[in-house]
């Protein structure tokens, strides 16, 4: 029996020592301190989490089954699943769903790929390594509102820099705000600008933990740097990649600031034709509309929660499948 197992089962690790004397009050106190105070240190977080995390979620779930008068301060009579039915049959919700998926794919996929490649490059013995590593995080420090404003003017339809360049080459300018795919691309660009460096550093940290002997062995076997990257680095950082992909997914489902500030529509409904309204924008706008604002928004929120859980599960299954296949 190892020590760890002994600790877990509560048996004394050493059976053969002299009988322990009765503990004094002080000793008991110090033992309790050792055993219980860590939980006390944690407690404030869980209390705060209960208050601002769990309670609002539970309450919004409750609320989603009621009606709400426009200027009332409290909910009206219950309506069963009517709010869910409204959201699920709302064509705007369907659009928001596909917009979110589209923007998510256009941002997360290139983001993770580019971050991995940059991390791989930063993992090599560079001159001024720390400087390079710091600088990839720079965009992350820029406030998202500032990012959105800058990119908003870069992607302005008539007077924006991007279109000026495109026209200078002789191509027709792109309607960044009215074309659905173009607007997704513009928004995804902002997201990528901000988050690629952040993911790079996480992946880099994982890469640093790969034992250097593996590379030495691979080099001795004559593997090129690219081969080393593909066959040593990538398999070794798989758990971290999984973490990065899941957090990117959750983030992707919650995109709000970028499309909201990119919006030129006076109603802020994500473009005149809802072409880039995301799910979180849908929730926000619904909570400002005239009929049953909060219950409908709450219903939409819970649908998004289910969606995120579903996607995370799917990713988990796919990753596990890949992992098993790799191990075989």
Partner 1 sequence: MRHSTTPRKAAVGVALALVAGTMAACGGDSEASQASLGKDDVLTITTFSDFGYDALIEQWNADPDRPFSVKMTKIADWDPWKQTMTQALQAGDGLTDVVAIEGDAMPQFLTDGASEQFADLTDPSLDDRWVEYAYENAQTADGKQVAYPTDAGPEGFCYRADLFEKAGLPSDREEVKAVFESWDSYFAAGEQLTEELPETKWFDSSGAIAQAMLNQTQFPFQTEDNTVEVNNPELQNVWETVTSKVDTLSPRVVQWEDDWEAGFANDGFATIPCPGWMFSNVKSAAPDVEGWDFVDAFPGGGGNWGGSYLAVPMQSEHQEEAKELANWLTDTEQQLAAFEAAGNYPANVGAQEALAEENITDPYFNDAPTAKILANRAAAVEPGHPYKGDKYSDILGLFLTAIQRVDEGISPDESWATFEQAVESLS
Residues 276 and 160: beta-carbon distance below 8 Å: no
Q: What is the token pair recorded at 174?
A: 């792109």
Following DSSP, what letter does each residue of 143-199 receive, concatenated?
-HHHHHHHHHHHT-TTT-HHHHHHHHTTPPPP-TTTSHHHHHHHHHHHHHHHHHHHH
Those residues with Cβ within 8 angstroms of residue 93's Cβ, 6 or more apart along the chain or in another chain: 87, 279, 282, 300
Partnered with residue 66 across adjacent β-strands are 78
Which residue number, 123 or 258, has a Cβ lying nearer to partner 1?
Answer: 258
Q: How far is the CB of 75 from partner 1 (least distance, A)?
A: 11
Which residue number, 210 or 307, has a Cβ lying nearer to partner 1?
Answer: 307
Give backbone dihedrals phi and psi of 66, rounded to 5 degrees, phi first: -125, 170
Which residue number, 178 or 323, has a Cβ lying nearer to partner 1?
Answer: 178
Quick one: 180 exposed, middle or buried, by C-beta within 10 A (0-12, 13-18, 19+)? middle
Q: How far is the CB of 69 from partner 1 (least distance, A)?
A: 6
Which residue number, 32 or 181, has a Cβ lying nearer to partner 1?
Answer: 181
Q: Which parts of this chain interact with partner 1 (CB under 8 A)?
A: 45, 48-49, 51-53, 69-73, 86, 90-92, 144, 153, 156-159, 175, 177-178, 191, 194-195, 198, 247-248, 250-252, 254-258, 264-269, 272-273, 288-291
Q: What is the token pair recorded at 201?
A: 């550093």
Q: How far is the CB of 144 from partner 1 (least distance, A)?
A: 6
Q: How far is the CB of 149 from partner 1 (least distance, A)?
A: 11
Q: How far is the CB of 324 from partner 1 (least distance, A)?
A: 28
Which residue number, 255 or 303, has a Cβ lying nearer to partner 1?
Answer: 255
Q: How far is the CB of 106 from partner 1 (least distance, A)?
A: 14
Q: Which helix H or strand E contains 64, and what residues bound it?
A: none
Which residue number, 70 or 324, has a Cβ lying nearer to partner 1?
Answer: 70
Which residue number, 228 or 286, has a Cβ lying nearer to partner 1?
Answer: 286
Give all strands (DSSP E) within 243-301, no chain letters: none
Which residue number, 103 or 237, has a Cβ lying nearer to partner 1?
Answer: 103
Residues 118 and 196: beta-carbon distance below 8 Å: yes
Partnered with residue 78 across adjacent β-strands are 66
Residues 295 and 309: beta-carbon distance below 8 Å: no
The C-alpha atoms of residue 201 and residue 257 are separated, in whole angstroms, by 23
Q: How far is the CB of 233 from partner 1 (least distance, A)?
A: 23
Q: How far is the CB of 90 from partner 1 (least distance, A)?
A: 6
Q: What is the token pair recorded at 81?
A: 């699943």
Q: What is the token pair recorded at 282?
A: 């849908």
């Amino acid at each position: 029996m190892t020590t760890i197992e002994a600790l877990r089962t509560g048996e004394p690790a050493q059976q053969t020592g002299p009988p322990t004397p009765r503990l004094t009050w002080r000793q008991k106190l110090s033992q309790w301190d050792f055993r219980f105070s860590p939980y006390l240190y944690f407690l404030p977080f869980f209390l705060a989490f209960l208050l601002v995390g769990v309670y609002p979620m539970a309450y919004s779930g409750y609320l989603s089954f009621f009606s709400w008068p426009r200027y009332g301060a409290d909910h009206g009579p219950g309506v069963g699943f009517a709010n869910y039915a409204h959201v699920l049959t709302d064509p705007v919700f369907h659009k928001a769903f596909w917009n979110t998926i589209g923007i998510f794919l256009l941002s997360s996929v290139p983001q993770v790929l580019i971050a991995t490649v940059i991390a791989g490059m930063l993992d090599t013995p560079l001159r001024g390594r720390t400087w390079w590593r710091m600088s990839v995080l720079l965009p992350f420090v820029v406030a998202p509102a500032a990012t959105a404003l800058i990119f908003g003017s870069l992607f302005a339809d008539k007077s924006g820099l991007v279109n000026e360049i495109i026209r200078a080459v002789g191509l027709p300018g792109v309607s960044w705000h009215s074309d659905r795919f173009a607007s997704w691309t513009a928004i995804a660009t902002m997201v990528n600008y901000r988050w690629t460096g952040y993911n790079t550093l996480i992946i880099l940290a994982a890469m640093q933990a790969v034992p250097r002997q593996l590379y030495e062995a691979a080099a001795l076997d004559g593997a090129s740097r690219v081969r080393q990257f593909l066959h040593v680095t990538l398999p070794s950082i798989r758990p971290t990649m999984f973490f990065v992909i899941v957090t990117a997914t959750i983030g992707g489902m919650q995109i709000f600031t970028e499309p909201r500030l990119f919006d030129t529509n006076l109603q802020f409904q994500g473009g005149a034709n809802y072409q880039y309204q995301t799910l979180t924008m849908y929730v926000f706008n619904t909570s400002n509309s005239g009929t049953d604002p909060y219950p409908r928004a709450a219903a939409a929120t819970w649908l998004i929660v289910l969606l995120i859980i579903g996607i995370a599960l799917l990713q988990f299954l796919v990753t596990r499948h890949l992992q098993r296949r790799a191990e075989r």
